[in-house]
Structure 1
Amino acid sequence: MMGHVGGKALEKDVSHDVLNLRRLLYCMTSSSEEDNDDLSLHHLMGRVELARRMWADLEPHLLLVDNKTNNNNNTNNNNNDPDGIHATLRMELEQACQHAQSQIQQLQSDPSA
């Protein structure tokens, strides 16, 4: 069974993992008080660590998907995502981690905030 994420066909289990990572990244960057209310320094650091571990598990699979897609696109010129799912998700991860790191720094400098 195949799933689709960002226009790419992925194995079902990988697709599910990509969606879970994207949900976590959303929570890390959300400005909603509901998502981030009363998050401790420990929780923020845990989210960053979890996101990086999930990325490490997914990265080899995403590179394979991009390689297969690029090979197929070279023959039919139907490339909807020139950067590929790997580069797109890596960028989302880095942005979310930077956002979380700034929150962590704020908590470290002013724990009462």
Structure 2
Amino acid sequence: MQSTRLNKLLAFLTSEPNDPFILYALATEYNSLNDTQQAFHYYLKLVEEHPSYVGTYYHLGKLYQKQGDPEKAIAIYQLGMKRAREKGDGHAFAELQGAYNMAAGLDYEDD
């Protein structure tokens, strides 16, 4: 059974098929429902069709990590940092850099 929220989002998608916020909300909802195939579908659609929607990169990278693919996660974080820098979004850049550092094993502390 699909969630009510998912049904509403799918209805919104019918009327606004290219709205990046709806695509992002769908990806996030599918991710929360553990439907990784659909989550990947919508996150990757965002990366391809709306590359400046920088929130995508963090969550897509985390999904790659959850699926045991740290190399793809690192590449997505790097691409997201580039897009955030181009957009002048320092907050998104910092979040992506933190996720990148952890995924790349650079999250060490000085003794």
Q: TM-score, normalised by structure 2?
A: 0.38
Larger proportion of strand: 1
Q: Which has the larger radius of gyration?
A: 1
Higher RCO (C-alpha 8 Å, min separation 6): 1
Q: TM-score, normalised by structure 1?
A: 0.37
